[in-house]
Structure 1
Amino acid sequence: MFEVTRYEASRRVRGTVVLSVLVALLGLLMVAFFPSVRTSSAALEEYIANLPPAFREAFGIDSFGTIEGFLATELYQFGWVILLGVYFGYRAGSLVAGDVEDRGIDLWLATPLSRARLVIERYLSLVPTMVAVNVVTPLVVLPAIAVVGEPVPVERVLAVHLLSVPYFLTTAALGLLLSVLVSRESTASRGALGLVFGLFLVESLASVGDVGWLGAVSPTRYFDPTGVLLRGAYDPAGAVILLGAAVGGVALAVALFRRADIT
């Protein structure tokens, strides 16, 4: 059981290690940079107040002069919501389309492995990478925060990482859907990248306009690092919605792939 997941995950070990280290170093850099930000926080807050509301909303800019607000914007809103969200959608876009394009899928389908199991296990092969980046980063960031002498509730930092997993699962499910709909790997991956980022923009613009309901289709509506870090505003209901969306997306991808005519 889960042989495909183990095989695919083992092929990504090097990439997972590199990604985890790079993201952790980004977090370390942000923490190290904060003392210089704190000394000019008054000027920064004035500058931020003059930014367009849509821009402030998109990047979760709030209380930039505190370590919580700074990390929420520079590390989690940008690094987690945008970069990693797009990354997992992009990677998922190649899970099926890549093998369909180069005909490697014929070897898989010649085995007793069902199409449903193939799709599900390939999707699950991204989970170790999601876990790795969310384990390594706080192990680096939390001690660094303590060194610079900025008190931050540890449970809030850990909550951000925990709540990001359903978000990543959802963006990966979007990429998986495109991967079974499109037979070209590059098209599926780039399409997933554009879709995830486009949904981020939809939520950002809808939240400052009169069409707030439109943002409900975006995964970013249900994952708010700024609210967690600054106010301890945990959203378990949002996490459940994201998990439901991920499960639904994978189920739809399985149904579509079962009916796909691969010739």
Structure 2
Amino acid sequence: MTPTPATSTTITEWRKERTVPKVVDHEQRRIEFVEALWRIMSRVGFEAATLQNISAEAGYANGAIKPYFSTKDDLLTFAFDYVFTQTNARMAEATRGLAGVAALRAYCLEILPIDEVKLNEARIVIPFWHLSLGDSAKCEVHEEAMRRWRGVMATHVKEAQDAGEVDTRLPVSTVVGQLLNMMLGAQITATLTPADQSVDDLVEQLDTFISLLQLGTGDRIPAAATTAQSAGPRRRSAPRSGGSGSAGRP
């Protein structure tokens, strides 16, 4: 039985609480479903995720997700856009006050899946790529995201060349293309073969690529130098386990 308030004042307040509709933050609700999708994908993969178990994972009844996402593909498209937005926000913060090589490195570190948040983001991106193969609208969403990243990377590479940090003979578009392909490839390998791609490995690959841009002569590193470098001590991070993460993206 519902308790009855003791005074007329509390009765009025009590009636208001029972009659005023609860205000729902719809954007936050969508994000909760995205984060629920992340957790399910980290355990059993995208194909095993359903609207029903995503809704349950988020703590809601089966039909609660339908007003927001009518299909799993709709949720994945929203999740990709969310990841991209959150990643861009991190990039802006990480590169604040930086230019040239320092900005380029900081920018790329926000794409590399080197923590649980960015690994979860990669888990969203990969199935989105798969669905985009037969969906021109999704392809355009992805291409628009990549155009933005290429543009910012190109700006930082040009800054580095103007400052004498990077070989000016290297075409900016080629450097950007190689670097972006490396970042996207890292999302695949870190997701599919995490035991072979530690955090240290991924960061070292990025730093090695940047160091090649800084050679200045355009010559290859001598074989003796690469042998000595590879023989040096290597710190490997602990294997990452699947789990939930906050996008809090892009």
Which category of TM-score, normalised to the shorter sequence, fits these structures?
Answer: 0.3 to 0.5
User: Which structure features the higher share of helix residues?
Assistant: 1
TM-score by length of 1: 0.31
Output the TM-score relative to the length of structure 2: 0.32
**Whose radius of gyration is greater, 1 or 2?**
2
